[in-house]
Structure 1
Amino acid sequence: MTTAYDVPADSLITVVSKDLEENDKINAPDWAQFVKTGVHKERRPENPNWWFVRAATLLRRIYVDGPVGISRLQTKYGGNKDRGTNPEKFQKGSGSIIRTALQQLEDAGYVEKTEKGRIVTPAGQSYLDNKASEISKDIPELSKY
């Protein structure tokens, strides 16, 4: 059986984000078109579907790392802030974006909150594994699994 570990992350994220968008499992908030993804960014994302890509990456990241909290995810999505003539300094990513996307994934039934952090539910694990098996059929090296 193919799992999310067996396929390339970018392929899995692309397929999952398209599925989340097409099946209305999550919805981008009204403010999503105006915000930056962190204080280290200068502009908002260029991809109009960035909300669904972020939700897909969060789902995969929790699948791989879980249980994981908001703070660790903020560190994952952070980056260096350009401070002019001063040296660059690492800044965490937006907690509000991560928190809102995780709440939507919880409502969809893919993620649940525990006292140690958020984990993927059996439904979420099955969803990612099914998408991974769809991808593995298109990749010749992985079709033997």
Structure 2
Amino acid sequence: MAKVYDVPADELISRLAEQLKKDKKIEPPAWSVFVKTGSHADKIPQNRDWWFTRCASLLRKIYLHGPISVADLKVEYGGRKKVGYNLAHHRDGGGAIVRHAIQQLEAAGYVTKIQGKGRIVTSEGTKKLDRLATEIHKELVKAVPALQRYG
């Protein structure tokens, strides 16, 4: 059985976002249409389904680095911001986005909180991620021999 470590992150996150889109407990808030992802961003996200992608990415990060706090996740999703002619400095990502996404993941039963330490993935969330990683891994293994024949 493959784990999250064994598959490409972009493939896992996109597939998990599609699954979360079908989940009734994960829904973007009304303000997500107008909000930037942080003070470092110039524009709102171009992808209309960015909320599900962010939730999937958060679930993966919590799986890999948990227990992890909201402050640590804000730093992870931040970026560089240039102000005038000065050098660029790091700016944290939006805290409301991280908090609301984690609250929805907790309500869905994928994440739980450990007091004083941060969030970790529950057994249900681990099963969901590992099953998806196994599916992706099987598809990649099937694709590799075909690529080697033609390469």
What is the TM-score normalised by the length of structure 2?
0.91
**Within 2, Cα distance between the matches of 1:37 and 1:84?**
21
Alignment of 1:30-49 (within 5 A): 30-49=30-49
Give the Å deviation of 1:22: 2.3
User: CA contact under 8 A between 1:136 and 1:142: conserved in structure 2?
Assistant: no
When residues 131 and 25 of structure 1 are mapped into structure 2, their CA distance, relative to the original with a 3 A threshold, is farther
Match of 2:50? 50
Hey, what does 1:133 align to over in structure 2? Answer: 134
Q: Following TM superposition, by how much is the alpha carbon of 1:49 offset from its aligned partner in structure 2, in angstroms? A: 0.5
Q: Which has the higher helix share?
A: 2
Partner residue of 2:149? none
Q: Report the secondary structure of 1:86's partner residue.
A: coil
Letter of the 1:138 counterpart: E
Partners of 1:8 and 1:40 lie apart in 2 by: 26
Q: Does 1:10 align with 2:10?
A: yes
CA RMSD of aligned residues (A): 1.4
Query: Which residue is 1:101 aligned to?
Result: 101
Equivalent-residue separation in structure 2 for 1:83 and 1:18 (angstroms): 37
Deviation at 1:142, TM superposition (A): 9.2
**Structure 1 unaligned residues grouped into runs of 5+:** none
- Find runs of 4+ consecutive structure 1 residues off by over 2 angstroms: 22-25
Structure 2 portions without partners, runs of 5+: 145-151
1:70 aligns to 2:75 (yes or no): no
Are the aligned partners of 1:74 and 1:95 in contact in 2 as well (CA < 8 Å)? yes
The residue type paired with residue 120 of structure 1 is V
Amino acid aligned to 1:110? Y
Structure 1 residue 72 displacement after superposition: 0.4
Secondary structure at 1:124's aligned position in 2?
helix
Deviation of the 1:62 alpha carbon:
0.2
Q: Which is worse superposed, 128-137 or 52-61?
A: 128-137
- Confirm whether residue 117 of structure 1 aligns to residue 123 of structure 2: no
Find the aligned partners of 2:50 and 2:11 in 1 and give their Cα distance: 15
TM-score under structure 1 normalisation? 0.94
How many residues align structurally?
143
Q: Secondary structure of the equivalent of 2:52?
A: helix
Q: Indicate whether 1:88 and 2:88 are aligned.
A: yes
Larger radius of gyration between Structure 1 and Structure 2: 2
